[in-house]
Structure 1
Amino acid sequence: MSNELIKQIFGLIKLNNKLIAVESPLQERVKLLTNLASECQRLDINCYLWTLEDDALQQLSTNEEGLSLQRVDQYQAIAKSRREHYFEILRFWKTTDLSGILILEGIFPWLGESTTDPDFFLTSEWIKSALINLKLYNCNANKTAILLGSNATVSSDIAPEVPTIVQQLPAIEEISSYLAQVLPDYSRSDIHATANASIGMYLADIGYGIRQAIANHEITPDELVEKLSAYKIELFKRIYNIQFLQPPSTPIGGLELIQQAFKTYKRLLSSLAKAYNLRLPKGILLIGPPGTGKSYSAKASSAQLGLPLIILEWGSFRSYGNLAEYKLKNLLALVDRINRVILYLDDFDKGFAGDDDLSKRLAGMLLTWMQERTSEVLIIASANNIQWLPPELTRSGRFDEIFKVDLPNYGERHSIFKIHLAKFDPRFRNGGDGYTEEEWKRLLKATQRCVGAEIQAIVERAAVSTFCEMFGDDVSPLQQLPSLEITLSALLAARQSMNPLAIREADRVESMRNIAALHGLPSSPIDSSIYSLGNVDIFG
């Protein structure tokens, strides 16, 4: 762990702060306590730990084996005889002749905003009052209480009395220094590659990931990077409920104007652009009906820019309730630390459907971060209903670019079909084509008002029906697989079995398209392909 956190804590103690809140993740707890006890020993200061779990006071010290805890009998005798309040430790620390640092672990739940539960409220108010009295009573004593927890949120009434320090995710230099100790045989370039794969994790997580990767056998540095990256993806899913994807190789059909914009953004990431004070847009908003390729565009931007992609379902934050702001704060800190990354806010509008205080507070946090951040993060958000978004989110300077992602035109549907057909039918790979121009015109006419997701489903259904026609139920493994050639009739049959959303919900989709057209720039140029509407006989 960096000494920066310890320096911050003792810096506040020197300024005579008697109450300090420290937010540190659980996995870093032992390391933090060890470093605190070690610094106290160096300065000849006593260091004590009280935990909510066992209501015991322990004196901390360090030795060659690490952290050592010794029970303080003086507190145990008083706590045993006075059981009327579980937080007797606060009375004890106020009056005891012991001095130094007292670490209180597990007290933060009672320090948050007020609750409707009367018993909890009374306990909470008592604890807040006891902490303030402790600060006043010990203003001239060599005593400091450190409130320690994973979420150091305190209510507005006592926040001015309790300065808060947050343990930040380690920077790449700190990770490299740590890796040099745990992987002494690695070269500088191997350490750098491993550190890059570890960015966004705490040192304790990195250590665990390394131990897990090399548990039973020796592995190469490249294999360790691969295993650490996989561990990080799984960890991010559990902690932040996000998908973290390395740049995919995603072909995209149509949306040329969006793709041109992505090429511009790539140039804005260069050091030359920085020299001219040019920057990425604050945010990009993609609006339009469901299934038109908004999520696909975000993946394509990741491929185009060569940046990892974080996919977050914005509406999911509402399910966290009182923890929503804490979760968002941690996520934005992660994004800042990773730095060069795309943050994709999927279904952004759904997070504001309730129009309640929580969604407004979350929007405020996001806006403040978007306005003040210095990291090179490209923010892309998608919305079906832009009218659900607060007006302050869509004004210039917030989401600088707004694109309307519409139903694909004839030329775009042709490109989308070829991308998906190439997954199954070799005739469509490497620029090949399996249909005549007339067959294409017939297919594109039949799939008018189908979106990209529906075209994918049509191709997949046609591939399944073709496979079932080619092979029976009991198929022995073949030495050489025959080609899966998907016919036009198979695609047309698959189309007949589907009712596209833009036809099924025509009024709603047209409303979305019209509103999107008012707010957004077109994402595609006018169709100039040979299959454009002007070149297709729509009457067959």
Structure 2
Amino acid sequence: MAFKEEFKTTLSRMFRARIPFISIRSIERARVLEVVQQISEEINIPIYVHSLSQGTRDIKTNRSVNDDRSIAGGLDFAVQNIAQRQNLTFIFTEVSDIEDDNIVSRHLYDCVVQAIERGGCICIITTKSVWPQLQRLGMTITLDAPNEEEMLAIVKECVIPYKASIPIDWEEADFIMAATTLANMTKIEAENVLATQMAKGSLTKDDLRELSNAKDKLFSDISGLERVKIDPGTLTVAGLSGLQKWLDNQKQLLTADLKARKLRPPRGVLLVGVPGCGKSLSAKFIAANWNLPLYRLDLASIHGQYLGQSENRLKEALASADNAAPCVLWIDEIEKGLSGATGSNDGGTSTRMVGQFLFWLQESHAKVFVVATANNVSQLPPELLRKGRFDELFFVDLPSETERKDIIQLYIKRNMLPTPSAATMDNLVDISDGFAGSDLESAVRDVAIQAVIYGDSIVNDQLFEKSFLNVVPLSKTSPEQIENIRLWGRERAVPASGVSWSNSPNNNTNGKRSILL
């Protein structure tokens, strides 16, 4: 793994050391050749580039030295010249079928062996693995997509020259935000996106949102990930003030310079608690509030029938999420996808998946904010709950009286219903003791359905009370299950409501954790 400056330094050392075979892993051929041309001028060595469209050309002068465009012809020309002159370097940009033992890889192997004797160097630019026997003759180096620093330079190179011809409202902070948004795209992808925005004749601060949308389209079909479309106008979370305050602080860290303090970007949050209390809605709310694309990782679809297939799919999905950064990665009911790690007959697949996920969670520095939700905490692998995996562990409990009132008012307003009297509202709050947020939504929705069928004139205090009385919450149908969940949360998690457990009227057990704000 290497970004441009590190890649240039390492590749330059390889050229100086006359490594006979270099495998360059990258999907950006033009960007690789740009670096190679700079190295050629700095260390003054002859370098020739072969392509299927132009044959072999001198990278300094772009002069053709061999018109044979075939791979075999290019390799033969390279060997003939290496035999006559020392310290020649040939780069092949389009070599296929080199993953296995075949005539192409053997031909290349033979050429490298001859290059060893004359100090020659043969490089290939590829995205595939190389036949192991060939690869052992040389070294491999990877050029990653531009990071934020390099992307900032790319953005400025594309935009600043047009300041005299079109209105550009961007300031330095906007350039930095654009670079953060476009990071991990290829250089040509970023240039295309910026050119498309400037083609309308101006560049405004509102275009920053369009950059995010354009990048989102490029990653809309990521394997293992599902793009979740959200409507910010319909997303409102009530009652989780503690979680929202904590998220406001984390949002600032997404754009802050954390390198000086050796900090990594916010990693994510694990939401556990009672079903139907807004955990999944919170993931959508975060993405909408932070103006980031939301991807859902479906662990059920990751599982394959063959040995190693599930792990490979998870690895590819997480790598794709890194490329789509900055984004929010939502893992709903994570315990169902990783529960096998606590004991199952899947041959250890779930255990390996947990290890792979935790390694990525710990080591990845991409701006991917993970929002994982869980209902049955007893099925969660213990190592997932260790401090440092997620930035924080929140418990979403049944709403208190004040929270229930806020939630009821929210859904009444959203469904455009007449507001009940103050006395009836207080009665609804009392009736809904033990209701989850989804139960409150269901009760108000029943009133809204009647209003659609018979008109708003039918909506009165009695209809509200009747609808609420018809709801039987999960806390009454499965009280033992709900109480076990709440007991677990009071001991191990921070209350998402922002109210300490000892002060909460819904709880008789003193909790140990609280959020630092």
Give the equivalent residue in structure 1 for 2:158. Answer: 179
Query: 1:262: Cα distance to partner?
Result: 3.7
Query: 1:295: Cα distance to partner?
Result: 2.7
Give the equivalent residue in structure 2 for 1:139. Answer: 116
Of 93, 98, 101, the match for 2:90 = 101
Query: 1:140: Cα distance to partner?
Result: 3.5
Aligned 8 A contact 1:410 1:444 in 2:
yes
Distance 1:344 1:178, change over 3 A: farther
Deviations 1:181-238 (A, max 9, x none): 67454577527536623423333222333454466x5355346444333222322333
* Equivalent-residue separation in structure 1 for 2:387 and 2:473 (angstroms): 35
Distance 1:3 1:402, change over 3 A: closer
Deviations 1:387-414 (A, max 9, x none): 4433222222323532222233443222
1:467 corresponds to 2:463: no
Distance 1:425 1:13, change over 3 A: same
* Equivalent-residue separation in structure 1 for 2:262 and 2:19 (angstroms): 41
Distance 1:76 1:361, change over 3 A: same
* Equivalent-residue separation in structure 2 for 1:259 and 1:178 (angstroms): 38
Name stretches of at least 5 consecutive residues in structure 2 with no aligned partner: 83-87, 509-517
TM-score, scaled relative to structure 2: 0.70
Distance 1:401 1:144, change over 3 A: same
SS at match of 1:46: strand
Q: 1:13 is aligned with what amino acid?
A: F
* Equivalent-residue separation in structure 1 for 2:460 and 2:64 (angstroms): 74
SS at match of 2:24: strand
Distance 1:13 1:30, change over 3 A: same
Aligned residues: 477
Of 326, 333, 340, the match for 1:347 = 333
Aligned 8 A contact 2:421 2:461 in 1:
no
Give the equivalent residue in structure 2 for 1:190. Answer: 170
1:59 corresponds to 2:59: no
Alignment of 1:68-79 (within 5 A): 71-72=67-68
1:231 corresponds to 2:220: no
Q: Which moved more, 1:379-388 or 1:270-279?
A: 270-279
Aligned 8 A contact 1:268 1:279 in 2:
no
Query: 1:466: Cα distance to partner?
Result: 0.7
* Equivalent-residue separation in structure 2 for 1:105 and 1:350 (angstroms): 44
* Equivalent-residue separation in structure 2 for 1:44 and 1:157 (angstroms): 24
Q: 1:179 is aligned with what amino acid?
A: C
Alignment of 1:500-539 (within 5 A): 512-517=485-490, 519-524=492-497, 525=499
* Equivalent-residue separation in structure 1 for 2:77 and 2:349 (angstroms): 37
Deviations 1:317-337 (A, max 9, x none): 5478535324423433554xx
Aligned 8 A contact 2:22 2:140 in 1:
yes
Distance 1:38 1:494, change over 3 A: farther
Q: 1:168 is aligned with what amino acid?
A: A
Give the equivalent residue in structure 1 for 2:47. Answer: 45
Aligned 8 A contact 1:103 1:147 in 2:
yes
Query: 1:158: Cα distance to partner?
Result: 6.0
Distance 1:417 1:31, change over 3 A: same
Distance 1:45 1:418, change over 3 A: same
Name stretches of at least 5 consecutive residues in structure 1 with no aligned partner: 51-55, 78-88, 112-122, 428-433, 471-482, 535-540
* Equivalent-residue separation in structure 1 for 2:377 and 2:133 (angstroms): 33
TM-score, scaled relative to structure 1: 0.67
Aligned 8 A contact 2:105 2:131 in 1:
no
SS at match of 1:180: helix
Distance 1:500 1:237, change over 3 A: farther
Give the equivalent residue in structure 2 for 1:385. Answer: 376
Give the equivalent residue in structure 1 for 2:14. Answer: 12
Deviations 1:10-58 (A, max 9, x none): 4333233333333333xx44554566578669843221246xxxxx993
Aligned 8 A contact 2:49 2:90 in 1:
yes
